[in-house]
Amino acid sequence: MTRKKILVTGGAGFIGGNFVQYMVNKYPQFDIYNLDLLTYAGDLTKHRDIESKGNYFFVKGDIADRDIIMSLFEKEKFDYVAHFAAESHVDRSINEPEIFVRTNVLGTQVLLDAAKKIGVTKFVHVSTDEVYGELDFDPTTFFTEESPLQPNSPYSASKASSDFMVRSYHETFGLPVNITRCSNNYGPFHFPEKLIPLTISRVLNDEKVPVYGVGKNVRDWLHVLDHCAAIDLVLHEGVNGEVYNVGGHNERTNLDVVKTIISTLGKSEELIEFVTDRLGHDKRYAIDPTKLERLGWKPTYTFETGIAQTIQWYLDNKWWWEKIISGDYPNYFKKQYSLL
């Protein structure tokens, strides 16, 4: 019997990288291909423990490059596609929106064409709760799969556009797709431009932590490995054409998150610096995951166990993040936080 091939796009990034490792270890009987352009957010050193496994393969390529993608699909005849590759940072999308349209919208459409051409068993498009826009602070309101798409940032608008493109390939061509919409992830190998790894790395170095506005915005946090398990389930059990929200009911204000990290590391809250708010800053995200739970998923981490594991991981793995914050990153940081 031929071995099933699973293509993971963006498998050198944060969530895609965790997913690649999860799949390589869980399914020795499947071949896992990681397709990634290795932008500033992609790095292969995170995969040093799986590189020598016989079921892991890396391909460098741009998902928006039609010729490369078409010939790769024709050559490898993938059975499954888990599509993570994207420009993912909201602040960068405010400063430079164009690349978000190219990668997130055009890149997704090119992959859909390739998947249609060879006839994949399943195409899972990894999207975000940000496509639903924002909720107010009423804690009884949640995003469901029926909530209207009202993206507010160039990033979320590009993700919503890609969601519509995926939907259209199901409705028009019968491509077997699913869309997942997850809340904020955190965990190992999270790039230190995002709130949690930025806070951990800066607090460890006794540097100021920039909190936008007054820190009252709410995010719904999920450990990345719980997200990986959700994608695995949807890849194998998702009903074609369906959307699944992913979230674990872990709503926290940004200030609470930052204070939790500071107190776990035994540092002073004087490290907090309130800075100019993000433009169009969404107030609150909160996911109703009932539909995915009915499919058989439930998270294994609470926010308390997950953040403790994550902080310990950053303490144990300075080799990974210290090289990032000493590369191009300081230039980005200076530009982004000119007030600091």
Chain residue whose CB lies nearest ligand DAU: 128
* Shortest distance (Å) from residue 184 CB to ligand DAU: 4
Distance CA 130, CA 133 (A): 5
Q: Which stretch binds ligand DAU (CB under 6 A): 38-46, 123-131, 307-315, 326-334?
A: 123-131
Q: Pick the piece of the chain touching ligand DAU (CB under 6 A) from 92-100, 208-216, 236-244, 313-321.
A: 208-216
Rule CB under 6 A: is residue 254 a binding residue for ligand DAU?
A: yes
Cα atoms found within 13 Å of the Cα of residue 61, Cβ hemisphere only? 23
Which residue from 5, 6, 7, 36 is in contact with ligand NAD, where contact means CB under 6 A?
A: 36
Active site includes 130? Answer: yes
194 contributes a contact to ligand DAU by CB under 6 A: yes
- Member of 90, 222, 324, 325 binding ligand DAU (CB under 6 A): 90
What the block records as the tokens of 61 is 């390529």
Binding status of residue 197 toward ligand NAD by CB under 6 A: no
Backbone angles phi and psi of 105, in degrees to 5: -95, -60
Nearest approach, Cβ of residue 128 and ligand DAU (Å)? 3
Please enumerate, as own/partner, the contacts of 35-38 that have beta carbons within 8 Å and a separation of 24 or more. Answer: 35/7, 35/8, 35/9, 35/10, 35/11, 35/59, 35/61, 35/63, 35/72, 35/85, 36/9, 36/10, 36/11, 36/12, 36/60, 36/61, 36/85, 37/61, 37/62, 37/63, 37/85, 38/12
Apex CA 14: angle with CA 114 and CA 230, to 5°? 70
The size of the interface with ligand NAD (CB under 6 A), counted in residues, is: 29
Choose one: 128-136, 144-152, 238-246, 320-328; the region binding ligand DAU (CB under 6 A). Answer: 128-136
Which residue, 34 or 271, has its beta carbon nearer to ligand NAD? Answer: 34
Taking CB under 6 A as the criterion, which residues in 5-44 touch ligand DAU? none
Site for ligand NAD in 87-116 (CB under 6 A): 87-88, 103, 107
Q: Which of 62, 129, 193, 220 is catalytic?
A: 129
Measured in whole angstroms, how far is the alpha carbon of residue 83 from the centre of its chain?
10
Q: How many CB atoms lie within 10 A of CB 30?
A: 16
Q: Which of 208, 222, 214 is nearest to 298 (CA)?
A: 222
- Binding test (CB under 6 A) with ligand DAU, winner from 6, 112, 211, 222: 211
Residues 6+ apart with CB under 8 A from 114: 69, 70, 72, 73
Residue closer to ligand DAU (CB basis): 128 or 147: 128
Rounded to whole angstroms, the Cα distance separating 118 from 124 reads 16
Say whether 301 is catalytic: no
Alpha-carbon span 38 to 177, nearest angstrom:
26
Per-position x/- string for 275-304, each x denoting binding to ligand DAU as judged by CB under 6 A, each - no binding: ---x------x-------------------
Residue with tokens 């993570």: 84
Q: CB nearest ligand NAD: which residue?
A: 13
Two structure tokens written together for 281: 């800053």
> Is 155 a residue of the active site?
yes
Binding residues for ligand NAD, per CB under 6 A? 10, 12-16, 36-39, 41-42, 62-64, 84-88, 103, 107, 126, 128, 159, 182, 184-185, 191
Binding residues for ligand DAU, per CB under 6 A? 88-90, 128-130, 183-184, 194-195, 198, 210-212, 217, 219, 254, 278, 285
- Which are the catalytic amino acids? 129-130, 155
